[in-house]
Copies of this chain bind each other. A is one copy, B any other.
């Protein structure tokens, strides 16, 4: 049983444990692999409009996502989200649950569309998952991501209209 609820400051230690290895790996998010805990808190908690955590029946934090406007005022009806699931909790549908939750959250906040700006092309699981959630690859950015293991790889812009 997964529950998704707003992030509280007491969740930071668990959240940092989840997002740190993903940032350190440098294979899916553009943040520096050497990002500090303070910078990560800024990026994941302070800059976004809201941050959420996914917790299981024992209240352990197993995933997290943020939501924010993707552009200033005249583009602020399109939101951007980022999602990370704890390594040990992958393959259980938590990312899908967070994606669905974020779409409802986006609508309730008045957003009309959701855009992912830099979906790393080699992150095939994520691409498949977002497609299942109704997102389309609307653009390919050649060599736009410096993958820490594979070098320069393409990235996708993915987009979904939530209201038409």
- Residues of A bordering B, CB below 8 Å: 26, 29-33, 35, 43, 71-78, 112-113, 115, 117-118, 138-148, 152, 155, 157, 159, 161
A-B contact pairs, 29 of them (CB 8 A): A26-B74, A30-B73, A30-B74, A30-B76, A31-B72, A31-B73, A71-B117, A71-B118, A74-B147, A75-B146, A77-B146, A77-B152, A78-B141, A112-B152, A113-B142, A115-B141, A115-B144, A117-B117, A138-B140, A138-B141, A138-B157, A139-B140, A139-B157, A139-B159, A141-B159, A142-B159, A143-B161, A144-B159, A157-B157
A79 to chain B, nearest CB (A): 11
- For A145, the chain B residues whose CB sits under 8 A away are 74-75
B146 touches A72 (CB 8 A): no
Given B31, B112, B138, B139, which contacts A74 in the complex, CB threshold below 8 Å?
B31
